[in-house]
Amino acid sequence: EPSPIIAPSILAADFAHLADAVHDIEGAADWVHVDVMDNHFVPNLTLGLPVVQSLRKATVIPFDVHLMITDPERWAPGYAEAGAYNVTFHAEACENPVALAKTLRAAGAKAGLAIDRDTPVEPYLELLPYVDTLLIMTIKAGFGGQKFMPEMLEKVRDVRRRIRAKNLEVRLEVDGGISADTIEQAAEAGADAFVAGTAVYGAADPAEAVRKLKALAER
Ligand code: DX5
Ligand code: ZN
């Protein structure tokens, strides 16, 4: 299996100094995770396309954009065009995930499908050949700093089984409450990409926190 990816979430960083926050983890992290929330799909509001466009120019680290928005068909391609490496939209918000994934790939990005806490993964397993990333929420989407839900690991196991059975090249990402205390069980269940907000930006040395998480995820 490919080596684990650590994607620090700037949701837990100081929004007045986003470029500094990204520079803090450059070299240590593989991707930077950008949480876009619209106060509609989730009851919280963060940032959007203009911020991503500006931040893109400030760093070379790949952007892992997580769209917690309604109507992703309207907005997701703009993030691909802005240079995002991976653009993930929510299954609950999308009528035709395969079509949107195709659009994102045509725009030069990897396509990700996210499954929120209350959504079963089973109906989406057959879509795995059409996406590059499958994101399993290990909390309810909307806020950083929540407690990791080990119950979600059953979904991770199901997805990993299917990826193996079909020999697919899909990143299996987990998001929510990932820390030094929880990352090993997520890796054990089969995740190979890990979002961490509080565990990275709440640490005195964010780059060192990333390196620690990576070491724990490598098995
Ligand atoms: C929440 C976001 C997460 C969040 C994770 O809906 O999708 O990416 O930043 O934060 P922590 O790591 O603090 O749970
Ligand atoms: Zn996220």
Instruction: State how far the Cα of 10 lies from the Cα of 128, in Å rounded to an integer.
Output: 27
pTM of the model: 0.98
Do the Cβ atoms of 196 and 7 come closer than 8 Å? yes
> What does the pLDDT average to over 205-213?
98
Supply φ then ψ for residue 63, to 5 degrees. Answer: -95, 130
**Residue 129, Cβ neighbours under 10 Å: how many?**
12
For 215, the token pair is 């070491």
SS3 45: strand
SS3 105: helix
Catalytic amino acids?
A: 35, 175
How many angstroms is it from 209 CA to the middle of ligand 1?
16
Tens of pLDDT along 123-180?
999 999 999 999 999 999 999 999 999 999 999 999 999 999 999 999 999 999 999 9
Q: Is the CB of 55 under 6 A from ligand 1?
A: no
Tens of pLDDT along 45-88?
999 999 999 999 999 999 999 999 999 999 999 999 999 999 99
Domains plus CATH for the chain? 5-217 (3.20.20.70)
Tens of pLDDT along 3-32?
999 999 999 999 999 999 999 999 999 999
N- to C-terminal Cα distance for the chain?
10
**Which atom of ligand 1 sits closest to the CA of residue 202?**
13
Q: Is the dihedral of CA 186, 150, 44, 212 positive or negative?
A: negative
The ipTM estimated for the assembled molecules is 0.99
Strands 63-68 and 86-90: parallel
How many angstroms is it from 141 CA to the middle of ligand 2?
7
How many angstroms is it from 105 CA to the middle of ligand 2?
20
